[in-house]
Amino acid sequence: MTHGFQAIRMLPKSRPSMAGFRSFRLRRYGNERPKVTVRIAVEWANLIGRVAAHGDREAFGRLFEHFAPRVKGMMLKAGAGKDDAEEIAQETLLTVWRKAAQFDPDTAGASAWIFTIARNLRIDAVRRKARSGSIDYGAELDYLVDPAEPIDHMLVRSDEADRIAAALSRLSEEQTMAIRLSFIEERPHSEIAELLGIPLGTVKSRIRLAMNRLRALLDEIK
């Protein structure tokens, strides 16, 4: 595999015991790349589908086992306290159970969908804490965001997930990392400089460059 498919390599390397793989073709955007067929594991999507279809608790158990500790890990990395990270991780998986029917594998990957749930819960948590000093998910809230509510309903195309994956795969690994470290993990520029091995003074332009390139790649998609 040539460079340009870093996003694929970022997926967890092996989930040997699980069935349910789907092959799909990365479309060509631009002119230079040959068509490459990649096999991508979609078992997480299948498990969510089983939860949606018949409240499959065994499938949910596997989702919990995989995602809850990772959501917790990500929340801790982004600066949440221990108890908050635990609470958000639990509530994220509970929302996965409740809203499984809203998941559409054509518009977003399973991890991306779970990310948006965790993100919305964190936004809510910050606002709740400001009011009461604790997250307290039982309390009624004025600004409650439906955690699984997509920001949009009509504009998403059916093959959006594939298209976005294709655009991301054309970013360099370093560019994807720059975006992830800066925005998802909210690390200070000094840390990003260290992790990427670049001078502090170039971090800002590196991030901006990565985002401009991503926007351009996405705009190429007609």
Contacts of other proteins in 61-120 (CB under 8 A): 61, 64-65, 67-74, 76-77, 85-86, 89-90, 93-94, 97-98, 107-116, 118-120
Short-list 107, 211, 206, 212, CA closest to 165:
107
CA distances (Å), 181 to each of 62, 131, 186, 193, in order? 28, 30, 6, 10
**216 interacts with other proteins by CB under 8 A:** no
Short-list 96, 156, 146, 158, CA closest to 121:
146
Q: What are phi and psi of 26, to 5 degrees?
A: -75, 125
**29 interacts with other proteins by CB under 8 A:** no
**38 interacts with other proteins by CB under 8 A:** no
Q: For other proteins, what does the binding mask look like between residues 136 and 175, x meaning CB under 8 A?
A: ----xxxxxxx----xx--xx---xx-xxx-xx-------
Interacting span for other proteins (CB under 8 A) from 24-32, 191-199, 210-218: 210-218
Q: How far is CA 190 from the centre of its chain?
A: 24
Q: What are phi and psi of 145, to 5 degrees?
A: -100, 130
**195 interacts with other proteins by CB under 8 A:** no
Minimum gap (Å) between residue 215 Cβ and other proteins: 6
Minimum gap (Å) between residue 77 Cβ and other proteins: 7
Q: Pick the closer one to other proteins by CB: 179 or 198.
A: 179
- State whether residue 133 is helix, strand or coil: coil
Number of chain positions touching other proteins (CB under 8 A): 81
**53 interacts with other proteins by CB under 8 A:** no
- Answer positive or negative: Cα dihedral of 201, 204, 208, 211: positive
Minimum gap (Å) between residue 21 Cβ and other proteins: 16
Report how far residue 216's alpha carbon sits from residue 211's, in angstroms, rounded to the nearest whole number: 8
